[in-house]
Structure 1
Amino acid sequence: MDTIDRKIISMLQDDAETPISVIAETVSLSVTPCWRRIQKLKEAGVIRKQVALCDATKLNVGVTVFISIRTSQHSQAWLDKFAQHVKDIPEVVEFYRMSGDVDYLIRAVVPDIAAYDRVYKRLIKISDIYDVSSSFAMEQLKYSTALPVDYAP
């Protein structure tokens, strides 16, 4: 991956609808070679998907909840079952297995506390969970879907 690819990726992360002609001009390429580079980045899996980013407040899911889960179960079978059920909860937008004191961290978006309570009840029905702790975001100070490109090989 060279400097031109990094510039292309940065532009597409900023706005995936940027016309190829604009990208090509910015990175000093003609349209066809620029288009080919984008296709190669897609084929290589560098560009996984192009999506629409929606406003959570306008979709009435403006409350962000970080849910920390601890369990005494650490078998693959337990993880497989737990992960599948968590992935089926539409309010869950991020889900991580962690190191340290917390086993799993979930980011969910909901309209209010009552909706979060329904998510919580779904979580505790899934499997044996030792502890569930939730924190509500008071204010979003930074949010980005753009990944840094300077580390790309």
Structure 2
Amino acid sequence: MLDQRDRKILDLLQRNAGMPVAEVAEQVALSPSACSRRIQRLEEAAYIRGRIAVLDRERIGVPTTVFALIKTAHHSDDWIETFRKSISDIGEIVEAHRLTGSYDYILKVVLPRVEHYDVVYRRLVKRIELFDVSAFISMEVLKSGEALPVDYAR
């Protein structure tokens, strides 16, 4: 069971995974060794799945975001697994979600420029049959981030 200190540690680390343990400890009113043990326990319990560096998309050269909405006529487990494999090694596809409603999947695609979407599209449709693909260009990011609300953690 998590307490308020655990939640605060999770919140601090997800906003800056490189924060020194001593600084985390100070912000949650623990000794560095006690804080380090809590962090280790949170990692072992899989609350913390890993630590990553968040790269600047402009500097990396992929400032453009396109969302591709996909409809398919296939819904078998085999087709879904083939679809999963088809998108897994296309680096520009950074997220994929199965949906309810009019579309079956949404892909978040990051690109150097809009014109590059056709390259990704062609790679995808060579690998798997799709009924319909509709692409939408993101004009502006209003909110972005990986930070999760920690209040619900049990």
Bin of the TM-score, shorter chain as denominator length: over 0.9
Aligned residue number for residue 4 of structure 1 = 5
TM-score of the two chains, using structure 2 as the length reference: 0.97
Aligned residue number for residue 107 of structure 1 = 108
How far, CA to CA, are the matches of 2:26 and 2:60 in structure 1? 36
What letter matches 2:52 in structure 1? V
Q: Secondary structure at the match of 1:89?
A: coil
Report if aligned partners of 2:86, 2:128 keep a CA contact under 8 Å in 1: no
Where do 4+ consecutive residues of structure 1 move more than 6 Å? none
How far, CA to CA, are the matches of 2:39 and 2:103 in structure 1? 39
Within 5 Å, give how 1:6-85 maps onto structure 2.
Answer: 6-85=7-86
Distance apart, 1:69 and its partner CA:
0.4
What letter matches 1:5 in structure 2? D
How far, CA to CA, are the matches of 1:111 and 1:30 in structure 2? 46
Distance apart, 1:113 and its partner CA:
2.4
Mark the runs of 5 or more structure 1 residues left unpaired by the alignment.
none
Mark the runs of 5 or more structure 2 residues left unpaired by the alignment.
none
The CA RMSD measured in Å over matched residues stands at: 0.8
How far, CA to CA, are the matches of 2:100 and 2:149 in structure 1? 23
Aligned residue number for residue 96 of structure 2 = 95
